Amino acid sequence: MLPREFKTLAKESVYRSARVELQHHKVELPDGNIVDDWAYVLASDAVLLVCQRNDGKFLVLRHHKYAISDCVHGPVGGAVDRDESPIDAAKRELLEETGMQAAWWRCLGESVLDPNRYVGRVHCYLVRELTRVHDQPLAPDCENPDLVWVTEQELREIAIKESSVASWKLAFLLAIESLRDTESV
> CA 98, CA 50: separation in Å to the nearest integer?
12
Whether pLDDT at 115 is above 60: yes
Q: How confident is the model at residue 185 (pLDDT cuts 50, 70, 90)?
A: very low
Calculate what percentage of the chain has a pLDDT beyond 90: 64
pLDDT for 161 equals 86
pLDDT for 143 equals 66
pLDDT for 105 equals 97
Is 2 contained in some domain? no
Co-location of 35 and 87 in the same domain: no
Q: What does DSSP assign to residue 143?
A: T
Domain count, the chain: 2
Collapsing DSSP states into helix, strand and coil, what is residue 29?
A: coil
CB-neighbour burial class of residue 49 (10 A; exposed 0-12, middle 13-18, buried 19+): buried
Co-location of 15 and 58 in the same domain: no
Q: Are strands 118-132 and 100-114 parallel, antiparallel or unpaired?
A: antiparallel
Co-location of 39 and 50 in the same domain: no
Q: What is the pLDDT of residues 116-166, one digit of tens each?
A: 889 899 999 999 999 999 887 777 666 678 899 999 999 999 998 886 688
Q: What is the residue-averaged pLDDT of the chain?
A: 89
Co-location of 97 and 143 in the same domain: yes
> CA 142, CA 164: separation in Å to the nearest integer?
18
> CA 146, CA 38: separation in Å to the nearest integer?
39
Co-location of 139 and 51 in the same domain: yes
Is 1 contained in some domain? no
> CA 98, CA 138: separation in Å to the nearest integer?
7
- CATH number of the domain where residue 123 is located: 3.90.79.10
Is 131 contained in some domain? yes
Domain that holds residue 15: 7-43
Is 61 contained in some domain? yes
Question: Angle at the Cα of 57 (from 56 to 58), degrees rounded to 5?
Answer: 120
Q: How confident is the model at residue 63 (pLDDT cuts 50, 70, 90)?
A: confident
Co-location of 65 and 151 in the same domain: yes
pLDDT for 109 equals 94
Higher pLDDT, 160 or 27: 27
Is 92 contained in some domain? yes
Co-location of 25 and 67 in the same domain: no
Is 31 contained in some domain? yes
pLDDT for 183 equals 53
Is 84 contained in some domain? yes
Co-location of 122 and 34 in the same domain: no
> CA 176, CA 153: separation in Å to the nearest integer?
10
Co-location of 106 and 24 in the same domain: no
Instruction: Name every residue whose Cβ is closer than 8 Å to that of residue 69 and which is 6 or more positions away in sequence.
Output: none
Co-location of 54 and 86 in the same domain: yes
pLDDT for 184 equals 40
Average pLDDT over residues 82-95: 95
Co-location of 78 and 150 in the same domain: yes
Average pLDDT over residues 100-112: 95
> CA 147, CA 112: separation in Å to the nearest integer?
27
Is 113 contained in some domain? yes
